[in-house]
A and B are shown apart, each in its own frame.
With several copies, the nearest count.
Chain A
């Protein structure tokens, strides 16, 4: 499995990319159909950051389908990471920071899995995660950086990086290996049926992971007509030819936020934190049963949060445009 994180040989990357269907055609499907594009053992890059634009609906579908041995990478992991570990979908995460969020303290689910050796947590600096995806997006095997030196974060990743003396300046540099995920799962505010996506607000690392990945699954708050995309091509952030699936999923990040649409469902995040704090193992299992395994549809899942919470999160979400 570790092989999946090594730099992909260029000729393999090119051959894979050439074999993909990159024509302009419809890719709209259901959550379940899209989730079936992810295979056991895949390296899945997750869009968004912490509680923002998390592709929760796709994670819900992957957990329900019982996917196994995924390597999950993300800029920063929040409690979607807990759920991937607790459900057994993944036991290997690659990220810069992992806990529900600063205000809730250290994730007990992460601790349980990592401290007992059930899961592996590869730690890279935030910029390094970004540069690794960017190298993958650019089609180069590495990017150089002036970070990750001297520290134990750097030392612990040493088997995967290389040191270099700059042939121009003599500077010491670290070369960060490219990441080309098997699949990127990304939630956006708007996409057309071909897979052109617009993103409002914070873009995080999503453009790079889309460009770097071998397959892209988009979930979107709204499916819009291609004519709208073409009317403002300078607002497109992900081009159709990288995209393999488009799924319309309103509130697709709940209980996390989607910029300009809804803020986090804070009460629900608090409830989750209390539950897993009391007992990370049983708490997470109970949450997964209630919110994932016992909800046949995404609408059922949302129902668990309730209408009042949805309205409140929406009101706060839209308020960014009140200023």
Chain B
């Protein structure tokens, strides 16, 4: 089932690798784009009773191939859903503890898994005002997170300019000390590698490299010291089967170009 690397895009790689992290029966709070694709892919392949939630207020929809929703708040998100409910109530499911995984993309991440989607530069005089948190802050405050993003030095920074969505804050017990007693970063998936977080100091570390990727390549694309797990492995490349299902979901490559 080996696949030629040039046979898939970086986004497709992200989607497939992320999908493999999800287990059957889980309830996953997903953003649009790669997260939605990955969750749907998992559902179609190995996790048929996995449930998708959207922050617009949707429980357990059936995403229709070729009709991917443009955000988590349009009627396309509700196709064959089991339930729709007010935004506040769907967010409260996170606080109540019904959700297994929050899954989103990231613009900027640091060594402790903190995400920034609010400001580039000084927040009081920003170089760039980004769109903001949306549900990101709530999701990352209240459940376990998977983040899928491109592996670039400008995105993997030592310290984010602004913590929009809390990871492990300044590491160690700082997250729980701040009052966030549950959840936290679980995995970061990029086009180069699969990362987790150290159980003690809570710093990001590489768990597995994608096929053909070297340690140096990862380090050169990361803005901070990144440890490698003692039991570093290599991921299996996307299978023809995984790619086929994925391409059926997004035939126009809206999110996988």
Interface residue A302 (Cβ < 8 Å from any Cβ of B): no
Across-interface contacts of B84 in A (CB, < 8 A): 201-203, 233-234, 236
Contact at A139–B95, with CB atoms within 8 Å? yes
Which B residues are CB-close (under 8 A) to A230?
62, 80-82
Contacts of B126 in A (CB 8 A): 114-115
Q: B222: CB under 8 A from chain A? A: no
Interface size range on B against A: 35 or more
Q: Which of B24-32, B187-195, B211-219 contacts A (4 or more CB under 8 A)?
A: B24-32
Q: Can you identify 5 A-B contacts, CB atoms within 8 angstroms?
A: A125-B137, A139-B96, A146-B141, A148-B137, A208-B86
Known: A106-B128, A202-B73. 11 other contacts (CB 8 A): A25-B49, A110-B129, A125-B133, A127-B95, A131-B88, A139-B95, A153-B133, A202-B58, A205-B88, A236-B83, A240-B60
Q: Do A239 and B182 contact each other (CB < 8 Å), given the known contacts A23-B25, A152-B123, A202-B58?
A: no
Flag if B57 contacts A204 (CB, 8 Å): yes
B81 to chain A: closest residue by CB: A233
A97 to B129, alpha carbons, bound, how many Å?
11
Using a CB–CB cutoff of 8 Å, the interface residues on chain A facing chain B are 10-11, 13-14, 17-18, 21-25, 49-52, 75-76, 95-99, 101-103, 106-107, 110-111, 114-115, 121, 123-128, 130-131, 133-134, 137-140, 145-154, 156, 171-174, 194, 196, 201-208, 211, 226, 229-230, 233-234, 236, 239-242, 257, 259-260, 263-264, 266, 317, 320, 323
Give residues 15-38 of B contacting A (CB, 8 Å): 24-27, 32-33
Interface check B175, CB cutoff 8 A: yes
Which B47-65 residues sit within 8 Å CB-CB of chain A?
Answer: 49-51, 55-62
- Kindly list the 8 A-B residue pairs having the minimum CB-CB distance in the complex, ordered from nearest: A130-B88, A23-B25, A150-B178, A172-B179, A127-B91, A139-B96, A236-B83, A139-B95
B134 contacts the other chain (CB 8 A): yes
Q: Pick the contact of A137 from B92, B94, B133 — CB < 8 Å?
A: B92
A153 to B141: give the CA distance in the assembly, Å: 11
A269 to B97 Cα, complex, angstroms: 37
Alpha-carbon gap, A203 to B141, bound state (A): 24
The answer to whether B232 has its CB under 8 Å from any CB of chain A is: no
Task: Provide the B106-138 mask, 1 if CB < 8 A to any CB of A, else 0.
Answer: 000000001000100001001111111111111
